[in-house]
Amino acid sequence: MPQLIAGNWKMHGLAADAVALAKAVAAGAAGLPTGLPCELLVCPPFVHLTAVAHALGGAPVALGGQDCHQAKQGAHTGDISAPMLRDVGAKWVILGHSERRQNHGETDEQVREKVLAAVEAGLTPIVCVGETADQRAGGQETEVVGWQIAGSLPKPFTGVVAYEPIWAIGTGKNATEQDVATMHAFIREELVRQFAEAGADIRILYGGSVRPENATSLLAVPHVGGALIGGASLKANDFLAIARAAKGG
């Protein structure tokens, strides 16, 4: 399976910025003479999804949301449903990002319900897991991530897992190749333990301060199926440079 390079634009940019970024990513993706060795995805803020879908045109760049509600519709002020995301052209959705778990108190159970809603709407979920600095300092990183996987992924699970150590998100401190190798091997083992054979094929992304300078080495680590990128996805050239470092299927 090709690696997945996913950009999480978070709450950045006005409409004109989002359109310009989408156009630059689309032009870069379409203009590479040998084609991209990976799948590309961008996840803009909800309000820019339609404009970004148009700006991407027919380029080989998929569109995703950064969250969705677990219900299809209803009295949920300020929320967006999975069918709404699908309706504006999204094929993917990031769920359980640590910023949602921390800032909105999202629990594993809510994330699991969101995953079910996303899959029912025809979206592929990217479920984020990862430990805090304190949990790692206490030697609890595998325990925490194991529980998050058990609690956040429904059975069966059709989607992608993103390992994002919270201490490495937006901090410029990326995990070492050894940290990533250890955790991705653990996550693979856990997925196989929890999902049997299907667990061997679930893509596991790494996220946390991935940049063009460290992408090649991080993307070469066993069981790394791609990257979830925050800061560097806001610069088309950096995002495309990371994509060029990815491996094909």
Give the residue numbers annotated as catalytic, written as ranges: 97, 164
Helix pair angle (108-120, 141-152), 10° resolution: 40
* Binding-site member from 18, 204, 215, 228 for ligand PEP (CB under 6 A): 228
Placement of tokens 């596991």 in the chain: 204
Measure the CA angle with vertex 168, ends 7 and 15; round to 5°: 30
The least distance separating ligand PEP from the CB of residue 37, rounded to whole angstroms, comes to: 20
Exposed, middle or buried: residue 75 (CB in 10 Å: 0-12, 13-18, 19+)? exposed
**Residue 118 token pair:** 């996303």
* Binding-site member from 137, 170, 193, 237 for ligand PEP (CB under 6 A): 170
x-or-dash string of contact with ligand PEP, 192-221, rule CB under 6 A? ---------------xxxx-----------
Q: Is residue 35 a contact residue for ligand PEP (CB under 6 A)? A: no
The least distance separating ligand PEP from the CB of residue 205, rounded to whole angstroms, comes to: 9
Between residues 159 and 230, which has the closer beta carbon with respect to ligand PEP? Answer: 230
The least distance separating ligand PEP from the CB of residue 61, rounded to whole angstroms, comes to: 18
Q: Is residue 229 a contact residue for ligand PEP (CB under 6 A)? A: yes
Contacts with 155 (C-beta within 8 Å, 6 or more apart), sequence order: 194, 195
* Binding-site member from 169, 187, 204, 246 for ligand PEP (CB under 6 A): 169
Residue number with the shortest CB distance to ligand PEP?
230
Q: Is residue 230 a contact residue for ligand PEP (CB under 6 A)? A: yes
Q: Is residue 8 a contact residue for ligand PEP (CB under 6 A)? A: yes
CA distances from 139 to 77, 128, 181 (A): 40, 20, 16
Between residues 80 and 228, which has the closer beta carbon with respect to ligand PEP? Answer: 228
Q: SS3 of 123, please?
A: coil
Residue 21 half-sphere exposure toward CB, CA atoms < 13 A: 27
* Binding-site member from 231, 238, 239, 245 for ligand PEP (CB under 6 A): 231
Give the integer Cα–Cα distance in Å for 50 and 89: 8
What residue ranges bind ligand PEP (CB under 6 A)? Answer: 8, 164, 169-170, 207-210, 228-232
